[in-house]
Structure 1
Amino acid sequence: MIDRKQRIALACASLAFFSVNTVAEVQTATLEKATLNIDTDTNDFTISALHDSGFQVTYLTDDNGTPYANLPSMALPEPALTDVTNKKANDVELVETATTLILKLNNIAAHVDKATHAISYSVNGKIVAKEQGGLSISNNGVSLSFALDEDEKLYGGGQRVLGMDRRGNTMPLYNKAHYGYTTSSNQMYFGLSAVMSSKHYSVLFDNTASGQLDIGSSTPDELLFSAQGGRASYIMVLGESLADTVQSTVAVTGKQPLPPRWLLGNFASRFGYKSQDEVTSVVDAFNTQDIPVDAVVLDLYWFGKDIQGHMGNLNWESETFPEPEKMISELRNQDVKTVLITEPFILTTSKQWESAVANNALAQNDDGVPYTFDFYFGNTGLVDVFNEAGQDWFWQYYEKLAAQGVAGWWGDLGEPEVHPDDIQHTWSNAGLGNKTVSGAEVHNGYGHQWAKTVYNNLTELQPDTRPFVLMRSGFLGSQRYGMVPWTGDVSRSWGGLKPQVELALQMSVFGMAYTHSDLGGFAGGETFDAELYTRWLQFGTFSPVFRPHAQDNIAPEPIFHADPVKSIARKFIQLRYDMLPYNYSLAFENALYGTPLMRPLAMKYDESDWFENAESYLWGDALLVSPVTSPNQVAWSTALPEGVWFDFFSDTRYQGGQTVDYPLTQDNFPVWVKAGSFMPMTKGLSRTEQFDARKIEMHYWHDNSVNSSSYTYYEDDGKNPASVEKGLYTKLHVRSSVDENAALTLTLDSEGSYIRMPKQRNITYVIHGLRDKPQSVSIDGNSVPVTWDDKGKTLSLAFSCDYQQSVEVLIM
């Protein structure tokens, strides 16, 4: 690290002691398993190998050599520096040169300059990142500085509306609500103290304190993080491509657990349902109007008749919800899940105030009494989610609600929306004992800690259930606790719709793969804009979560709108359910590999062309989606990467490598399928629980320009929390190849199994893109009947097979 005194030498555990000739006294370093401990005459620090693709640097002392009391890491899984490093110890090598210490891990390395202590990082021997000011501790807090190349582009900062390349911007590192935002926002609900470079590295500043991120704004060639205290540590992740860097970053910070399959259904949600009768009548309307629905979300009226004065009651409002357990049970019998909002604010007027005070559940002031303050909802205290007493007190209400049948949990205002800098939290931690920390030090970790408490307790209480945890704010690694973020109180306007792709992609590359928006927009709007609503729901069909939600002066649910809005919404919601096998397989990929559901085009195509693109995105590998974000358009321009692409709705063939003006109608928009893509689908579901693994339509988009392609479909029971961990799933491998005579061969085989997996599968191949009806079609050498749609140029053939059987289809 730059500006340190210029003396260092080494001793390596289980290696020979050696000295270095320097102009000053000799210092030491030891390699213990996968951690290099460096002792200098100023800052002592460690470099630890993480997973197989990263390093963590942590300062142990300040510039005066005084021990530094680091807070625990939030960005890393708790066993990151024990289990992971132990497993990788044999892969770590320390090499010394006359001027440098080199800590090698596979094809990556951290190079420590002996004189300055500055660290640079290499991939395959090439330096790709280097400290400029390094990590520093001073009276002003903690800072981290890296050098930037002139042509370097960077994602980073989390939720902001600044453009995909965040370089040239300075942004607060302080999670804060931005009500009614549109096309510009420098500070929002869920920031991330991290960047990801076009040079294929990511830097994660593992510090939850209030601070600032400057990406080449003040000094063009410098990346600078700063914070008002907190942890003195950062993580460097190195990859060979953008896709590799994304997956490696998630591998280091922890993968998202596989969610319940019902997360991928339609949610009935608004601000908010005011009574039990209203909830049941809304679900009845979805049923009678033949619109699929899987969950109903209850906002704050479930615990109070009014918006203000009741937050913290944490119990049903008995007059408006007289029989909540009956309501939940009746909904559950219809395969509809109940999701409830909770907030961490306990008003002094709430029914639980005295209990919270008596049980030491609230954050305190300097005098050791609950810190109270005024905000929109009333005079309040704040649950101390860092303290075991606060966690236990808060959890008892979740436990009671879970016993009543509540299936999902919505944590709102978790920035926290109001969080005084001088409020005192007591952090209960086995390694620290009880440590008092200020609101300023842990502000950005509050939502993360809250989600952790809810998720961990739910997994213990309901070990056979996958938790659903919807949260507005968190920190790096929050995905480990099943967090499903959304983009906050967006304006119900075209300006609110426009930045949603950017927001989701900026979060997804750092692991928050279920980031989504309130479909239709939340805030404001005096009159119903039918086109805006329709376009937003169309976009939502290809989003991680489909949840229309808004202030109820204009109904967010399609059941309350007339045709053609309702019929278009029904069509796209039904398409969402038809796509369930494909979407759930994307969720599986995310749980296994950290791959986002929504992906920047640069993850697959030329990064120099696509790194900054926020108009389109990939939904999995097969689909390219370009939402319509302006009104009254008759065509929508979409830039297509090289290759052949098909219109998802009409099967019209387009040559890529150009910008196409896609002709719009009110019930279509640009969704493209890459030639050679497979897509498993189903038909006619009104609930995700109705999914029948025995019946799959496997769509394939054929073009002779694609000589071969492959796809893996993942499947389990949709519920078991241990599916990934214990390998309780099956993989269906499908492949295509075209020979010199233009004959198409499709092969199918599978591996793996899960409990209660059906013995047989009925598969219908639907092949798009054929020019003419094939002369012959055979399965395993036997001719079979087919259905040919001459207008759509699609071929359909159905067959049955054992789950473990291999099948080959030849089309000539």
Structure 2
Amino acid sequence: MLRSTKPFLLLASLSAFFSSLIHAEIVGYVLKGNTLHVNTDTSDFTVSVTATNSFVVTLKTDDSGKAYANLPSMALVHSTIGEDINPTVEDTPTTISLNWQNATVNIDKASHRMTYLMNGKQVVKEQKGLSVQGERISASFSLDDSEKIYGGGQRVLGMDRRGQQMPLYNKAHYGYTTSSSQMYFGLSAVMSSKHYAVLFDNTASGTLDIGASNTNELLFQADGGRASYVIVLGESVADTVQKTVSLTGKQPLPPRWLLGNFASRFGYKSQQEVIDVVGAFNQQDIPVDAVVLDLYWFGKDVKGHMGNLQWDNAAFPEPEQMIAQLKQQDVKTVLITEPFILTSSAQWESAVLNDALVKKADGAPYTFDFYFGNTGLVDVFSEAGQDWFWQFYEKLAAQGVAGWWGDLGEPEVHPDDSIHLWDSKPVRAKALHNGYGHQWAKLVYSNLRKLQPETRPFVLMRSGFIGSQRYGMVPWTGDVSRSWGGLAPQVELALQMSIFGLAYTHSDLGGFAGGDAFDPELYTRWLQFGAFTPVFRPHAQDSIAPEPIFHPDPVKSIVREFIKLRYAMLPYNYGLAFENALSGSPLMRPLSYVYSDDKWFNHADSYMWGDALLVSPVTQPKQSQWNALLPEGVWFDFFSGERFVGDQEVTYPLLDDNFPVWVKAGSFIPMSEGLSRTEDYDPSRLTMHYWFDNSVASSGYTLYEDNGKSPYSVDKNTFATIEFKALRRGNSSVMVSINSDGSYIGMPQQREFLWVVHGFEDAPKTLRVNGRNTNFNWNEKKQTLTFTVPYTYQQAVDITIN
């Protein structure tokens, strides 16, 4: 029921008064479900609370009292806004409080500014709040002197973005290196070292100012669009990340082949070249799972053909036969598409006739010149544009294409005054710019799920918005310079994206743009790093081959071993994908995600690959050693087995064929040796590595497993888990237990685990499996213990090593 508040005095200064959210008296409020509707004599706004300790604030009318036409939210999963929870309201003479579990928002009746509390303690508060002045929408918050800030998505500015101002306008940055304030995939979102996140749910062109203009103010501004923001309150960085991703949508579990090696370049120019390249990978014993075709599949030249959206039959005379031939080898075909339809393309007249393009104010197709020619742009927001664009994907899918690459989706050129038709209403491009790639991914993903309901879509995209991960988007970091300067920021770029849910962000391995000559050391170090990133896809302009098959030894031999290592780690890496789909946890994790010490918050020299591995990429040439900070605890060199004590800087001796990777003591890592394709994976025969150390009293690991293809594994719980737990029993002894649960069609009932135990200084005296003595091998040089344990599904096993 609507309840009026008592009159109160306005004590704020005039300047604060005119910058506040609403300049009027609250005349009443009502709580409906999980949403508090607040009315004033001129303006209305809502505050919704979600089960993730998040608050969604949306302005319904502007400060003149006129209705404000909000666009729908792109950032949020719509079901989270209407969750069936029961928050409570408290009314005091000065505040209205909305409470849910341990989270609270206090609305000051005088200024209408909001303060957010977790466990009764203030976490963040509005400074000027949410406001609309003309077409400018702003959201302003106070920053404490000491807090550090992640945010803005793809930028090369350092992990702590405090003191930076950046455009909120997705834009290509060709050949970037060690500095960039504007790139392909910006995010209007920040995350604080105080364990909260702010999401500005607005896709329009704007700016993000993190204490640059005013040291203690966080300010989002946009020219039009949606007047709404979201506050997420967490207990830690990891908790804040997972709550944010729960709110914006978890990434669907990708197909297992995404974790394989991609053959990719700009670009393969003929059907025969594609067949020959895959044949060379086979002949040279280098695993490969997919081949990516750039723009030459639809035209012989770079310019003049974009928008054809059909095979160039002169270069690709029998594409279906080619795709089928690759499929017989368990190699997937991935095609590039772009949203630009050139006036010179084969589809121009069809696009115009079917009303598929963005328009001018007079309703005519909007055409403009850019690098590839004179063009129009597909309106991915309109039903007509979606229907017309989708027909080409549908035809290509029928031919066997397995993966989809959307390029130039910022869009690279997007006139501010062009008009989209969204929900049958005209909307200027300026208000939708940052959501274009997001909407495009939604179009492709949603239609593929309907067309191929038993398949997990693969959608590679260069640009998007908050929440794009829920449409299976796999982003990359754009046209990076093929240089050491291009390699250096890749950890920062991936981590800044992964904490907001874009967990498959990766780089063109080896670098894309420029390069006068092949640099074998740069190429090797970049691909070594790539073995511990979400997607392994060397890609470049073809003046220097990106594929290892075209390079001499020792480069080829070193890279081959790292690609084989990536394939061997498939069960571990696939487990990271499962964890991401279940909880939103990134694959690449900032050290602040795991360790609470503030010193890790702005650290981008190293990262965690899952829970077990710490990776410190080599980003400088001609190094004989590499210095790295190790967190607390004990760590083992992944390659040599050398033991390191953490909480200090250590020196790693570099060779051409090794790479700075450490394993956290107590970790389990499952492996599957000898794979040339991800399809070869056999869960019945696994090697389980365990790193023992007396400093670790207990540890555990969950192995996730399904058929690698079903899109229902997570939603319908059609997957299996095997739990491994280790418990130290005195010095130099450990008990490991194995238990399993869940199932899926085709799951093996009988398994064999080859155990490799690291960390013992001497050979153990006894090894017992379920109380029975068991044979083992001890390698004195490597100090590894190996033995085999058969395992039957849902049978408990105890292994005791003394």
TM range, smaller chain = over 0.9
What letter corresponds to residue 424 of structure 1 in structure 2? I
Corresponding residue of 2:17? none
In structure 1, which of residues 728, 734, 744 is the aligned counterpart of residue 724 of structure 2? Answer: 734
Aligned residues with identical type, % of pairs: 66
Distance (Å, rounded) in 2 between the aligned partners of 1:60 and 1:655: 56
Kindly provide the CA deviation profile for residues 305-325 of structure 1, in whole angstroms up to 9, marking residues without a partner as x.
000000000000000000000
Residue aligned with 2:566, SS: helix
Corresponding residue of 2:736? 746
Distance (Å, rounded) in 2 between the aligned partners of 1:509 and 1:673: 22
Residue aligned with 2:333, SS: strand
Task: Give yes or no for the alignment of 1:523 onto 2:513.
Answer: yes
Alignment of 1:3-82 (within 5 A): 11=1, 17=3, 19-23=5-9, 27-82=27-82
Task: Give yes or no for the alignment of 1:388 onto 2:388.
Answer: no
Taking structure 2 as the reference length, the TM-score comes to: 0.97
Task: Give yes or no for the alignment of 1:155 onto 2:170.
Answer: no
2:188·2:466 contact (CA, 8 Å) conserved in 1?
yes
The structure-2 alpha-carbon separation of the partners of 1:510 and 1:26, relative to structure 1 and needing over 3 Å to count, comes to closer
Corresponding residue of 1:786? 776
Alignment of 1:361-510 (within 5 A): 361-428=356-423, 434-510=424-500
Kindly provide the CA deviation profile for residues 267-324 of structure 1, in whole angstroms up to 9, marking residues without a partner as x.
0000000000000000000000000000000000000000000000000000000000
Alignment of 1:354-753 (within 5 A): 354-428=349-423, 434-753=424-743
Distance (Å, rounded) in 1 between the aligned partners of 2:255 and 2:784: 34
Residue aligned with 2:78, SS: coil
Distance (Å, rounded) in 2 between the aligned partners of 1:632 and 1:290: 29
What letter corresponds to residue 22 of structure 1 in structure 2? F
1:52·1:105 contact (CA, 8 Å) conserved in 2?
no
Give the Å deviation of 1:65: 1.2
Give the Å deviation of 1:21: 4.3
Give the Å deviation of 1:449: 0.2
Kindly provide the CA deviation profile for residues 716-773 of structure 1, in whole angstroms up to 9, marking residues without a partner as x.
1100000000001111110111123542101110111111111111111110011000
Distance (Å, rounded) in 2 between the aligned partners of 1:607 and 1:489: 34
Corresponding residue of 2:22? none
2:205·2:431 contact (CA, 8 Å) conserved in 1?
yes
Distance (Å, rounded) in 1 between the aligned partners of 2:78 and 2:760: 53
Distance (Å, rounded) in 2 between the aligned partners of 1:241 and 1:309: 52
1:544·1:598 contact (CA, 8 Å) conserved in 2?
yes
Distance (Å, rounded) in 2 between the aligned partners of 1:579 and 1:669: 16
Give the Å deviation of 1:52: 2.5
Corresponding residue of 1:115? 110
Residue aligned with 1:325, SS: helix
1:52·1:106 contact (CA, 8 Å) conserved in 2?
no
Corresponding residue of 1:198? 193
Corresponding residue of 1:4? none
Distance (Å, rounded) in 1 between the aligned partners of 2:595 and 2:737: 27
Residue aligned with 1:683, SS: coil
What letter corresponds to residue 40 of structure 1 in structure 2? T
Task: Give yes or no for the alignment of 1:804 onto 2:794.
Answer: yes
1:256·1:479 contact (CA, 8 Å) conserved in 2?
yes
Kindly provide the CA deviation profile for residues 6-49 of structure 1, in whole angstroms up to 9, marking residues without a partner as x.
xxxxx56xxxx564343597611000000000001232100011
Corresponding residue of 1:760? 750
Corresponding residue of 1:238? 233
Task: Give yes or no for the alignment of 1:106 onto 2:75.
Answer: no
Give the Å deviation of 1:140: 4.1
2:741·2:794 contact (CA, 8 Å) conserved in 1?
yes
Kindly provide the CA deviation profile for residues 432-484 of structure 1, in whole angstroms up to 9, marking residues without a partner as x.
xx111111110000000000000000000000000000000000000000000
Corresponding residue of 2:14? none
Alignment of 1:149-188 (within 5 A): 149-188=144-183
CA RMSD, aligned part only? 1.0
What letter corresponds to residue 291 of structure 2 in structure 1? V
What letter corresponds to residue 156 of structure 2 in structure 1? V
Residue aligned with 1:645, SS: strand
Distance (Å, rounded) in 2 between the aligned partners of 1:741 and 1:339: 53
1:20·1:26 contact (CA, 8 Å) conserved in 2?
no
Distance (Å, rounded) in 2 between the aligned partners of 1:742 and 1:323: 63
Kindly provide the CA deviation profile for residues 680-699 of structure 1, in whole angstroms up to 9, marking residues without a partner as x.
11100000001001111111
What letter corresponds to residue 161 of structure 2 in structure 1? R
Kindly provide the CA deviation profile for residues 166-221 of structure 1, in whole angstroms up to 9, marking residues without a partner as x.
00000000000000000000000000000000000000000000000000000000
The structure-2 alpha-carbon separation of the partners of 1:458 and 1:668, relative to structure 1 and needing over 3 Å to count, comes to same
Corresponding residue of 1:319? 314
2:770·2:798 contact (CA, 8 Å) conserved in 1?
yes
Give the Å deviation of 1:335: 0.3
Distance (Å, rounded) in 1 between the aligned partners of 2:178 and 2:52: 39
What letter corresponds to residue 762 of structure 1 in structure 2? E
Give the Å deviation of 1:585: 0.2
Give the Å deviation of 1:569: 0.6
Residue aligned with 1:684, SS: coil
1:744·1:811 contact (CA, 8 Å) conserved in 2?
yes
The structure-2 alpha-carbon separation of the partners of 1:203 and 1:103, relative to structure 1 and needing over 3 Å to count, comes to same
1:51·1:251 contact (CA, 8 Å) conserved in 2?
no
Taking structure 1 as the reference length, the TM-score comes to: 0.96
What letter corresponds to residue 516 of structure 1 in structure 2? H
Corresponding residue of 1:189? 184
Distance (Å, rounded) in 1 between the aligned partners of 2:189 and 2:538: 30
Kindly provide the CA deviation profile for residues 110-132 of structure 1, in whole angstroms up to 9, marking residues without a partner as x.
11111111011011000100000
Corresponding residue of 1:6? none
Give the Å deviation of 1:254: 0.5
Kindly provide the CA deviation profile for residues 518-547 of structure 1, in whole angstroms up to 9, marking residues without a partner as x.
000000001000000000000000000000
Give the Å deviation of 1:367: 1.1
Distance (Å, rounded) in 2 between the aligned partners of 1:676 and 1:556: 37
What letter corresponds to residue 588 of structure 1 in structure 2? F
Moved over 3 A (4+): 23-26
Residue aligned with 2:301, SS: coil
What letter corresponds to residue 622 of structure 2 in structure 1? N
Corresponding residue of 1:285? 280
In structure 2, which of residues 203, 207, 232 is the aligned counterpart of residue 208 of structure 1? Answer: 203
Aligned residues: 788
Q: Which consecutive residues of structure 2, in runs of 5 or more, have no partner in the other structure?
A: 11-24
Give the Å deviation of 1:95: 1.6
In structure 1, which of residues 760, 769, 773 is the aligned counterpart of residue 763 of structure 2? Answer: 773
What letter corresponds to residue 73 of structure 2 in structure 1? S
Comparing 31-40 and 50-59, the one that deviates more? 50-59
Distance (Å, rounded) in 2 between the aligned partners of 1:789 and 1:802: 28
What letter corresponds to residue 645 of structure 1 in structure 2? W
Corresponding residue of 2:16? none
Q: Which consecutive residues of structure 1, in runs of 5 or more, have no partner in the other structure?
A: 1-10, 429-433
Distance (Å, rounded) in 2 between the aligned partners of 1:542 and 1:101: 49
Distance (Å, rounded) in 2 between the aligned partners of 1:476 and 1:572: 33
What letter corresponds to residue 20 of structure 1 in structure 2? K
Distance (Å, rounded) in 1 between the aligned partners of 2:284 and 2:732: 47
Alignment of 1:129-140 (within 5 A): 129-140=124-135
Residue aligned with 1:79, SS: helix
